[in-house]
């Protein structure tokens, strides 16, 4: 495996670009590949076996492109598929996501933590295990957010409809005394500015993108796979509508780019 080989990242859609931005910020010398499986978004309503099949397919594609490491930038995909991928590719650095229950439990002062997440994440056994392990001393209120991923996919980060949805989900959490909000989906960091308008400044907003980038850095360093640079331009694919993703890239990635059909 050569050090200047790229890092492969995939998600059910464009949400994982929030993680890709954290990787670029921490590891600017690394070349990046990104696949949005937007033809099957959202994963939250799909069966675990279907998601595992998509994980196998997307991982194989990224490895064909020469990826030296994989990042599953999706909580639902991680729950369903990361263990199998690690069995299939035992020598490959593979990093998954998980909701930030531990840091949220440590951060709360009121003892009440709110979780905004997809239905699939909230139903998962892994999420339940995280609560048992790290949140036994705090009250956790979960709030599924159906339809939010699709709005973010369409670039509706601060539309009146998105604002109304978020307000309806957040208000009950605040009424219960929540002072810490977990953003339990990689799409949700893109609506942080809108959330900041809807919740008091004293409420902490916690996601795991930066922690994932640090874990990736650790694994690459352990295997002496960190790149010296310079990085190649990031490459993008979508299993949905490439032009639709291309239109939101400047908004979500910070610069324009070409998106190829998967």
Q: pTM score, two decimals?
A: 0.93
Q: Which H/E stretch holds residue 170?
A: helix 160-175
Whether 1 is in a domain gets the answer no
The answer on 226 and 187 residing in a single domain is no
149 compared with 57, residue with greater pLDDT: 57
pLDDT tens digits for range 103-119: 999 999 999 999 999 88
Q: What is the pLDDT of residue 167?
A: 96
**Which of the residues are catalytic?**
74, 185
CA 4 to chain centre: 24
Neighbours of 128 (CB within 10 A): 11
Number of domains, the chain: 2
Helix axis angle for 17-26 and 242-252, nearest 10°, is 50
The answer on 87 and 13 residing in a single domain is yes
Structure tokens at 262: 């998967």
pLDDT tens digits for range 181-223: 999 999 999 999 999 999 999 999 999 999 999 999 999 999 9
Q: Which H/E stretch holds residue 83?
A: helix 75-88
The answer on 41 and 14 residing in a single domain is yes
CA atoms of 18 and 76, how far apart (whole Å): 16
Model confidence at 92: pLDDT above 80: yes
The answer on 69 and 11 residing in a single domain is yes
Residue 41 confidence class, pLDDT cut points 50, 70, 90 = confident
Backbone φ, ψ for residue 173 (5° rounding) = -65, -45
Model confidence at 120: pLDDT above 90: no
- Residue from 60, 61, 159, 140 nearest 99 by CA: 140
The answer on 200 and 116 residing in a single domain is yes
- Tell me if 117 sits within 8 A of 108, measured CB to CB: no
Domain that holds residue 182: 101-206
Q: What pairs with residue 32 in β-bridges?
A: 7
CA atoms of 217 and 12, how far apart (whole Å): 23
The answer on 164 and 213 residing in a single domain is no
């Amino acid at each position: 495996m050569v050090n200047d080989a790229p890092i492969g990242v995939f998600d059910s859609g464009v949400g994982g670009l929030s993680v890709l931005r954290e990787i670029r910020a921490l590891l600017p010398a690394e070349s990046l590949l990104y696949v949005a499986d937007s033809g099957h978004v959202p994963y939250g309503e799909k069966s675990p076996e279907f998601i595992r099949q998509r994980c196998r397919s997307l991982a194989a594609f990224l490895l064909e492109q020469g990826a030296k490491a994989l990042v599953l930038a999706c909580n639902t995909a991680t729950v369903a598929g990361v263990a199998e991928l690690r069995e299939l590719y035992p020598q490959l650095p593979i990093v998954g996501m998980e909701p930030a229950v531990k840091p949220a439990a440590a951060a709360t002062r009121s003892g009440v933590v709110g979780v905004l997440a997809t239905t699939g994440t909230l139903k998962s056994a892994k999420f339940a295990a995280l609560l048992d392990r790290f949140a036994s001393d705090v009250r956790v209120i979960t709030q599924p957010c159906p339809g939010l991923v699709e709005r973010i996919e369409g670039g509706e980060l601060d539309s009146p409809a998105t604002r109304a949805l978020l307000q309806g989900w957040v208000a009950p959490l605040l009424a219960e005394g929540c002072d810490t909000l977990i953003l339990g989906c990689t799409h949700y960091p893109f609506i942080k500015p809108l959330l900041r308008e809807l919740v008091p400044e004293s409420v902490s907003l916690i996601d795991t993108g930066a922690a994932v980038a640090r874990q990736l850095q650790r694994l690459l360093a352990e295997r002496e796979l960190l790149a010296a640079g310079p990085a190649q331009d990031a490459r993008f694919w979508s299993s949905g509508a490439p032009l639709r993703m291309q239109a939101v890239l400047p908004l979500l990635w910070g610069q324009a780019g070409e998106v190829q059909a998967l």
